[in-house]
Amino acid sequence: MRRVLVVRTDSDGDVLLAGPAVRAVAAHARVTLLVSPAGVQAARLLPDVDEVVVFAAPWSGYRPPPVDPVATEDLIDQLRAAAFDTAVVLTSWHQSPLPAALLLRLAGIPQIAAASEDYPGSLLDVRFRADRAAPGQVHEAEAMLALVRAAGFEPAEPPDDCVRLVVRHPLPPLPDLVPEAPFVVVHPGASVPARAPRPSDAAAIVAELGARGWPVVVTGSPAERALTSAVAGDHAVDLGGRTDLATLAAVLAAARCVVVGNTGPAHLSAAVGTPVVSLFAPVVPLERWRPLGVPLRVLGDSSAACRSTGARECPVPGHPCLASVAPAEVAAAVDDLARHPRKALSA
């Protein structure tokens, strides 16, 4: 059977969005997924991934690591020994695949495909440029799926199913702290600060939901424990730092609705079929990064001064694109979405 290396060296959310492309490749070949440490948990949640290779790529990430010559040489040796037939490098439209392609070429991989605006020289055998006319207007998952199709990997699923997000099942059991009654999740953090609400605004949303009778669970990573504690206050269950990504998926799957910024748990919510109230900062295009395939309400000032800047730290005092969203508006969106029937998802 063919062996294909799929590369996506970004965070968990980006790796989850690569799922449809990975499934298309897996219909034809055995898949190894090369990811960064920030994406390894999502890689292990994706169906159809046979092996995961982890490399701290110095060309990607919010705080990219320095170049490590020894680790780089070890990666090249590992990939050479695996004797892959093909590699597909998945990136966003604003990223270059060429650093990864160079390493893959040094590893002896004979066929390499990627989307690249930059001249690739001899690094790419398939140079895909679907985003050239309107960068950012194609959803991230659709763009990656289009690339693997150009490389010869047609999806085995019907058109309506091939772009859906999924995770492996069964998911872990729920933590004992999760309420038995229908509850709402508020995820106040984000891997990129400009895409998260201010802590005080998130706390006000939690308080408003609690006042309307919703049990609330606040989630976050181990690094966000101070944030989740402050946001949860006396109104919510604080699960900050108490879940890995698979357990977080189980919590989100059990929730009636999730309130979250443009960050990984928004896409994880979509992958488990839970409606999303998206607090979306317009620093990147909504068309590219919205949660796919679930009932959705998008809140935030889409015309704010930060629009399309790609900023990682909010460039406007007061973070007005999200601070302008009233807690009552969020709670009303939750009330509306929670009435939607849930779809049964499995993978």
Q: Please, which pLDDT band fits residue 195 given cuts at 50, 70 and 90?
A: very high
User: C-alpha dihedral over 174, 45, 12, 221, to 10 degrees?
Assistant: 20
Strands of 17-138, DSSP E: 30-35, 51-54, 86-89, 112-115, 126-128
Give the residue, 342 or 37, on which the prediction is more confident: 37
Residue 233 region, left (φ>0) first, then alpha (ψ -120 to 50), else beta?
left
DSSP secondary structure letter of residue 61: S
How many degrees, rounded to 5, is the angle at CA 291 between CA 32 and CA 267? 40
Say how far apart CA 299 and CA 150 lie, in whole Å.
Answer: 35
pLDDT digits (tens, 9 = 90+) for 39-73: 999 999 999 999 999 999 999 988 899 999 999 99
- Is the pLDDT at 129 greater than 90? The verdict is no
pLDDT digits (tens, 9 = 90+) for 66-115: 999 999 999 999 999 999 999 999 999 889 999 999 999 999 999 999 99
- Is the pLDDT at 291 greater than 80? The verdict is yes
Bond preceding residue 282 cis, omega within 30 of 0? no
Asked if 71 and 60 touch (Cβ cutoff 8 Å), the reply is no
- Is the pLDDT at 240 greater than 50? The verdict is yes
The whole-model pTM stands at: 0.95
Strands of 9-50, DSSP E: 30-35
pLDDT digits (tens, 9 = 90+) for 298-339: 999 999 999 989 999 999 999 999 999 999 999 999 999 997
* Torsion sign over Cα 214, 215, 221, 226: positive
Q: Which domains does the chain have, with CATH numbers?
A: 3-150 (3.40.50.2000), 184-337 (3.40.50.2000)
**pLDDT of amino acid 111:** 98
- Is the pLDDT at 344 greater than 80? The verdict is no
Q: Give backbone dihedrals phi and psi of 30, rounded to 5 degrees, phi first.
A: -80, 130
- Is the pLDDT at 224 greater than 70? The verdict is yes
* Torsion sign over Cα 204, 205, 208, 214: negative
Mean pLDDT of 286-293: 95
**pLDDT of amino acid 133:** 44
